Structure 1
Amino acid sequence: MVPTMVLVADGTRDTRRKEALHDLAEAVADRREAPVQAAFGSPTELRAAVESIEGPLVVVPAFLAGSDAASTELLAGLDLDSRFDACATAPLGAVPSIVAQLVTRLHAEGWRPGDGVVLAADGGPELPGNSERRQVIDVARMLSRRVQTPVQVGYLHAWAPSVSDAVARLRRNGHDRVAVATWQLVDGADLHRLREIGATAVTAPFGPSPVVIDTLLAQHRAATARLAA
Structure 2
Amino acid sequence: MSTTTLTRTVHRSAGTVEHSAWMGWMETIPSPDLVAVSHGTDDPAGRTAVRALVDVVDLALAETAVHGAFVDVQDPRVDPYLHSGALAPGQKAALVPLLLSAGTHASGDLAAAAGGRPGTKVAAPLGPDASLAAVLHRRLVEAGWIPGEAVVLACAGSTDPRGIADCQTMAQLLAGRLQVPVTPAFISAAEPRLPDVLDAARTLNPGRRTVVSSYLLAPGYFADLVARCRPDVLGAPLLDPSQTPPRELVDTVIERYRRCVDR
TM-score (norm 1): 0.85
Gap runs ≥5 in structure 2:
1-29, 240-244
Residues 18, 40 of structure 1: 8 Å contact kept: no
| Within-5 A mapping of 1:148-167 | 148-167=179-198
Query: What secondary structure sits across from 2:256 in the alignment?
Result: helix
- Determine if the alignment matches structure 1 residue 58 to structure 2 residue 58: no
Query: What secondary structure sits across from 1:87 in the alignment?
Result: strand
- Rounded Cα–Cα distance in structure 1 between residues aligned with 2:42 and 2:138: 29
- Determine if the alignment matches structure 1 residue 11 to structure 2 residue 11: no
- Determine if the alignment matches structure 1 residue 21 to structure 2 residue 42: no
| Within-5 A mapping of 1:52-201 | 52=85, 53-54=87-88, 55-65=91-101, 71-72=105-106, 75-76=109-110, 78-81=112-115, 83-126=117-160, 131-174=162-205, 176-201=208-233
1:219 deviation in Å? 0.9
- Which string of whole-angstrom CA distances, capped at 9 and with x for unpartnered residues, describes residues 30-52 of structure 1? 22342111112549831121123
Query: What secondary structure sits across from 2:47 in the alignment?
Result: helix
1:108 deviation in Å? 2.0
1:27 deviation in Å? 2.0
1:74 deviation in Å? 6.7
1:209 deviation in Å? 1.3
- Rounded Cα–Cα distance in structure 1 between residues aligned with 2:230 and 2:76: 39
- Determine if the alignment matches structure 1 residue 38 to structure 2 residue 38: no
Question: Closer, same or farther in 2 for the Cα pair 1:11/1:73, shift >3 Å?
Answer: farther
Query: What secondary structure sits across from 1:221 in the alignment?
Result: helix
1:137 deviation in Å? 0.2
Moved more, 12-21 or 108-117: 12-21
Task: From 219, 222, 229, give the equivalent of 2:256.
Answer: 219
- Rounded Cα–Cα distance in structure 1 between residues aligned with 2:257 and 2:52: 18
1:120 deviation in Å? 0.4
Residues 5, 58 of structure 1: 8 Å contact kept: yes
- Rounded Cα–Cα distance in structure 1 between residues aligned with 2:111 and 2:131: 29
- Rounded Cα–Cα distance in structure 1 between residues aligned with 2:182 and 2:193: 14
Gap runs ≥5 in structure 1:
none
- Rounded Cα–Cα distance in structure 1 between residues aligned with 2:38 and 2:138: 26
Residues 10, 70 of structure 1: 8 Å contact kept: no
Residues 145, 233 of structure 2: 8 Å contact kept: yes
Count of matched residue pairs: 221
1:138 deviation in Å? 0.6
Residues 6, 50 of structure 1: 8 Å contact kept: no
- Rounded Cα–Cα distance in structure 2 between residues aligned with 1:38 and 1:76: 13
Which of 1 and 2 has higher RCO (CA within 8 Å, sep 6+)? 1
- RMSD of the TM alignment (CA)? 2.4
- Rounded Cα–Cα distance in structure 2 between residues aligned with 1:78 and 1:26: 26
